[in-house]
Chain A
Amino acid sequence: MTVDTRVEGRRGHGVHRLVVRVAVVFTVSFGLYYITWRWMDSVNWAAWWIAVPLVLAETYGLIDVSLFGLTMWRARRRGEPPAPIEGASVDVLITTYDEPPGLVRATARAARAIRHPHQTWILDDGDRPEMRAVAEELGVGYLTRGREWADRPRHAKAGNINNALMQTSGEFLVVLDADMVARPEFLDRTLGWFRDERVAFVQTPQVFSNVATGDPLGSQAPLFYGPIQEGKDGWNAAFFCGSNAVLRREALMQLGIVGYVQDTERSVALRLRDATAAVRRARRDHRADQALLPVLEKMLVALADARRALGNGEPLGDITYRLQRQVALADLRVGAGAVARVVAVVGARAGAGAGAGSAAAVVGRGPDDVGPRTGLEPDPDAGTDALNAVQLALRAIDVDRADEAQAILPLATISVTEDMATSMRLHALGLRSVFHNEVLADGLAPEDLGSMLTQRLRWAQGTMQLFLRENPLFARGMSPAQRLMYFSTMWSYLSGFATAVFIAAPVVFLVFGIAPVRSYGAEFMLHFVPFLAANQVLFLIGAGKTPTWRGQQYSFALFPVWIRACVSAFRNVVLHQPLTFAVTPKVRIHTNQPWRLVRWQLMAGVALAGCLLLALVRLSAGPQEFIPTAFNVVWVVFDLAALSVLIGAVRYRGYLAEEKN
């Protein structure tokens, strides 16, 4: 009986997949036909300032839908999981920073009640006594950062988990956000997938229990935690999403070790070069100083020796240890005064090359960097700076990752969305992932517009940081399809720019009569309508029973958030400016002026509504330009319908308040 239904299900799945593929082929073909015609024959070059942005935005859209098609092409529904591995040891990690202890308590109780044997831990980055009390009361573990994290980058949630990895020893670990209440069967339903030894992690959906009917804030992501993740899974590219996932410790440690080796090889070579250049410049500039030259010569000999050894492939541990000892010996042989002079001279030069990231290394070094300061000359400030700088240049040549609290950083720290970066690197190692499509935990979504916007901004920023820092298209180790699965998600966050154009174009036409297209006549419709229709059909089939309109509205209506995320991530990665970073609040933020949060959308809405009125007046006046005007009216109505989601969002008073009514 069960076998029969399963076969039938598989056959149904096969038919569905075939239909999806036909829709993909039609959509991409019609899309290419349309976009070729747009570029070659229909751009109104006279109004290039709007025509070119529009055709670019449309090209963006075609690439976006093609990537969606690729995602759907091999969608994988896994069905029943294999039985869990017997005797598997598991740590359940609950990450918290400033969430109320009562909320974490509920999460920890549920985690403790997971049926499969495991140890539950609260990872409290807030280091709060009341949180410790909750852990003691429930009899679960409690972990905070140790001394080694003082004065070093904490790496937020990734750092919190990395810290816990060093203090626990389970074969598998479950990661849960502070508000994610797990169901008892969580492990029974997921551990079995690890029977395949190459599987690094299993991700399950994230759903929220405090969402009012109609999901006014677009909190649920049914399309992502459904067809899209199933699609990515088909290409072995399911994403790790930071919570509700099980990970294999071995895979994470492997990742941490690969990262350590790469980082160490790169930094030793780089720092050797910088230090050598700095000492050489000092020798050139102070050729006459007889006290200084012998010391500089000794340093250069030591550095040259190290560089030669590096070229010969000697182990970095030996090279750096020898170098550090030679430098220390030079320090001992020369009197304190001479050292201070060397330091002042070399340091002034070396500072630039050593990099700001190493500043923490000096702080952690202990008393031996204080000694020589006694012999300093007139300008004590410059002397101290110079001392620090030379320490940086020479002492930073080491294999101890002194600027980090831990030598091994399994969870990626290069982005505020550590989860996506980590899963990308795991895939690049050739490991596998599973998306298990069954709700096994219920969380809490932000209940007000401000918190929701902060959360979306952070996700988008993290994704774009990764796009700029470790672009999947150029990262080694992944298959082309895996690269495109990551690229697809990153690409979708560029939509803000396209949306701005899709709002501006009809306004420009209806107000000034300037068309970006040579004509909105029959020829246009002939090219455009098949693409539009196929696109909609693909989306409907691909999504299946999943509700998608709310998600579509938000991806359109939050265009200022997406633009801001792209701009700030660019500033951060390329221009090295700090990223304003915020933890998504679990408690409501009250604001008196919610409308201010969506002022750009409000302006867009007013402009669109204004030209809608104008167009209706014009249409009623006569048949002139009827089709183009009508087409743009439909366009404006679509834009307004998408933006209208924000009216409900601004007026939303939270889950309890809504449900009482």
Chain B
Amino acid sequence: MEFKTEELGKDITLVRGNGRLNMIAAPRLRSVVAYAVENGRPRVVVDLSEVEFMDSSGLGSLISCLKTVRQAGGDLRIAAPATQVSMVLSLSNVDRILKPYAVAETAFDD
């Protein structure tokens, strides 16, 4: 799995992943987000539209990232999950905490 990052506005980082967000990719996502925070961009949106599969480790890494950015005064948002990812989010009840936004680019527009 590859992660690509883009900078939005003055402190938002957009992370796009594609493929499988699983136990192999999880540590990489965490380091991508940690890097963004270290560079003063603690508001992170993860675009899940190209993620075709996510396991509990992948989900766990999203939660770990949420912790990282919150402690730096930022926030983590997720956007546009496909079917399997949506199902994992709702079966695990994580959607009670992290609700997916429709579009990654506008997730921080509030």
Contact = CB atoms under 8 A, between A and B. Distances in A.
Interface of A: 166-167, 169-171, 249-250, 253-254, 256-258, 260-261, 264-265, 313-318, 321, 364, 398-402, 406-408
B67 A401 contact: yes
Given A316-B96, A364-B71, A249 B57 contact: yes
A366 to B, nearest CB: 8
B60 interface: yes
B63 interface: yes
Contact of A254 (B56, B66, B75, B96): B56
A253 B55 contact: yes
Interface residues of B, number: 27
Interface stretch (B6-14, B21-29, B45-53, B79-87): B21-29
A253 B76 CA distance: 20
B92 A261 contact: yes
Given A261-B97, A315-B95, A398-B70, 20 more contacts: A166-B27, A166-B64, A169-B24, A249-B57, A253-B57, A253-B60, A254-B56, A256-B60, A258-B92, A260-B63, A261-B92, A264-B97, A265-B96, A314-B99, A315-B99, A321-B70, A402-B70, A407-B63, A407-B64, A407-B66
A250 B56 contact: yes
A390 to B, nearest CB: 18
Nearest to A253: B56
B102 interface: no
B97 A171 contact: no
Interface of B: 23-24, 26-27, 30, 55-57, 59-60, 63-64, 66-67, 70-71, 75-77, 92-99
Contacts of B63: 257, 260, 407-408
- In this complex, which of B59, B71, B97 has the most chain A Cβ atoms within 10 angstroms of its Cβ? B97
Given A169-B24, A250-B56, A250-B57, A261 B64 contact: no
A264 B67 CA distance: 12
Nearest to B75: A321
A315 B27 contact: no
Contact of B64 (A171, A249, A408): A408
Nearest to A250: B56
A198 to B, nearest CB: 14
Given A169-B57, A249-B57, A253-B56, A318 B99 contact: yes
8 contacts: A167-B27, A169-B27, A253-B57, A257-B94, A313-B96, A315-B99, A407-B64, A408-B64
